[in-house]
């Protein structure tokens, strides 16, 4: 009879034996990872997907938020267009409000995952290493899988931007919006929200509605509100709506078609690409936030120049106009800055082979990097193929492009 120690050792060995080789490993199960899996599997490409479905959306975006993108720009791509939001609400018998609550979009994403990747592997990837004829992917429990290609579709969680000015403050006094799935802990407290984009403005509205004393501090001279003057132009009653506005819904009229055509964006001079990207995704808030923020003070053309722990539950802020604020917490709505070297799972041999500019990988057809067989989707593809890759609507272009290149 096998003794208990030997039995346990054998069980561990069986558990950690390598997974069967596959053609493609997809890391990430948000909209881009799920869209990639849908197109790859439909093309008959053996695909193994790792990650927790819609994890960033569920755990690192505050509860109560709404989806900024319009309905038509919020479908996750699948080859037959059978898994749209419209299909989801029909199957579930739902009537969703517009703008759509974040919680409903998360449920849509999880429904999509069940249709496309019911065998989703929720373990985390610990390492991606070069191997003969592809890659060796090591999981958090030590198990490995070999794949000819790897698709990194991990979203923006690792790229949150925290200005160094606030490095000396503990998390209890200063945090990034991505640190919170709920803002109820700030009820009854005073909060300074740093940033005048959608995340900061909507966080401020939620904080105010929860009973916090909140102020927005933004460096831009005025807050830009989206769609305030374009209601009729974007309505179904306008016969020219489809000509003026592509379904991707990224960028102002004119530039939006460039954003919706990544192959065109890629051919533009770099200076033009930068101008298009800046004009298309500069900080702004949805028009439907305006009434929710009427009672919230917003200081524009202001920057924090000093932040000091004032002891207890307080932070002293000094602004560039010489004024001061004392608050209980600073909420940093300071966005994200792509830097793929922050992916701890990319091994040194992989990183050495990656050509990068300002943290972005240089990508070619099929979103393939300079490391053959390694692809990047989502925000890391924005420098090569334009700002639509920062939005769910970008899956409509990116996932088919990936599948065509691999197939």
pLDDT of res. 253: 87
Tallying the residues shown for the chain, one arrives at 407
Query: 196-208, pLDDT tens digit by residue?
Result: 999 999 999 999 9
Break the chain down into helix, strand, coil percent, rounded to 5: 35, 20, 40
Contact 93, 86 (CB under 8 A): no
Which of 43-66 are b and which e, b meaning 16 or more Cβ less than 10 Å from the residue's Cβ? eebebbbbbbbbbbbbebbbebbb
DSSP state letters, 147-173: EEEEEE--TTGGGB---GGGTTS-TTT
Asked if residue 76 lies in contact with residue 34, where contact means CB atoms within 8 angstroms, the answer is yes
With H, G, I as helix, E, B as strand and everything else as coil, classify residue 51.
coil
Task: Return the pLDDT at 240.
Answer: 62
Residue 6: predicted pLDDT: 40
Fold adopted by 164-224+283-332: FAD/NAD(P)-binding domain (3.50.50)
- What pLDDT, on a 0 to 100 scale, did the predictor assign at position 2? 40
Q: What is the pLDDT of residue 60?
A: 96
pLDDT confidence of residue 312? 87
Distance from the first to the final alpha carbon of the chain: 51
Query: Cβ atoms within 10 A of the Cβ of 266, count?
Result: 14
Helix/strand/coil for 346: strand
| Predicted confidence (pLDDT) per residue in 73-123, tens digit | 999 999 999 999 999 999 999 999 999 999 999 999 999 999 999 999 999
Return residue ranges of the chain for CATH 3.50.50.60.
9-159+337-406, 164-224+283-332
Whole-model pTM: value is 0.93
Angle at alpha carbon of residue 88, lines to 84 and 90, rounded to 5°:
115
Q: Which CATH architecture has domain 9-159+337-406?
A: 3-Layer(bba) Sandwich (3.50)
User: Which ranges of the chain have pLDDT less than 50?
Assistant: 1-15
* C-alpha closest to that of 124 among 49, 60, 235: 49
């Amino acid at each position: 009879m096998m003794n208990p120690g030997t039995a346990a050792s054998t069980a561990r060995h069986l558990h950690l034996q390598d997974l069967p080789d596959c053609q493609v490993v997809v890391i990430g199960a948000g909209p881009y990872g799920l869209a990639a899996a849908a197109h790859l599997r439909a093309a008959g490409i053996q695909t193994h997907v790792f990650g927790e479905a819609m994890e960033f959306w569920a755990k690192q975006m505050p509860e109560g938020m709404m989806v900024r993108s319009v309905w038509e720009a919020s479908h996750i791509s699948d080859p037959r267009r059978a898994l749209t939001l419209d299909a989801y609400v029909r199957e579930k018998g739902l009537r969703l409000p517009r703008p759509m609550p974040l919680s409903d979009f998360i449920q849509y994403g999880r429904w999509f995952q069940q249709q496309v990747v019911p065998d989703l592997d929720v373990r985390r990837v610990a390492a991606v290493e070069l191997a003969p004829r592809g890659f060796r992917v090591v999981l958090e429990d030590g198990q490995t899988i070999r794949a000819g290609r790897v698709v990194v579709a991990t979203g923006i969680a690792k790229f949150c931007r925290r200005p160094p000015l606030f490095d000396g403050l503990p998390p209890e006094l200063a945090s990034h919006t991505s640190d919170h799935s709920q803002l109820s802990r700030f009820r009854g407290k005073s909060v300074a929200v740093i940033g005048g984009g959608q995340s900061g403005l909507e966080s401020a509205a939620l904080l105010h509605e929860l009973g916090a004393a909140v102020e927005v501090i933004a460096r831009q001279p005025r807050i830009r509100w989206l769609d305030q003057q374009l209601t009729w132009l974007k309505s179904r009653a306008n016969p020219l709506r489809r000509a003026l506005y592509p379904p991707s819904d990224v960028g102002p009229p004119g530039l939006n078609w460039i954003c919706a055509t990544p192959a065109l964006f890629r051919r533009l001079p770099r200076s033009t690409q930068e101008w298009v990207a800046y004009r298309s995704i500069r900080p702004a808030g949805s028009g439907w936030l305006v009434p929710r923020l009427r009672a919230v003070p917003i200081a524009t053309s202001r920057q924090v120049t000093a932040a000091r722990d004032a002891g207890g539950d307080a932070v002293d802020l000094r602004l560039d106009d010489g004024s001061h604020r004392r608050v209980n917490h600073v909420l940093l709505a300071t966005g994200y800055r792509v830097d793929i070297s922050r992916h701890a799972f990319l091994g040194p041999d992989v990183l050495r082979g990656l050509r990068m500019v300002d943290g972005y990988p240089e990508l070619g057809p099929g979103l393939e990097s300079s490391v053959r067989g390694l692809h990047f989707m989502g925000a890391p593809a924005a420098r090569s193929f334009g700002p639509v890759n920062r939005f769910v609507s970008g899956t409509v272009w990116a996932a088919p492009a990936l599948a065509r290149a691999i197939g």
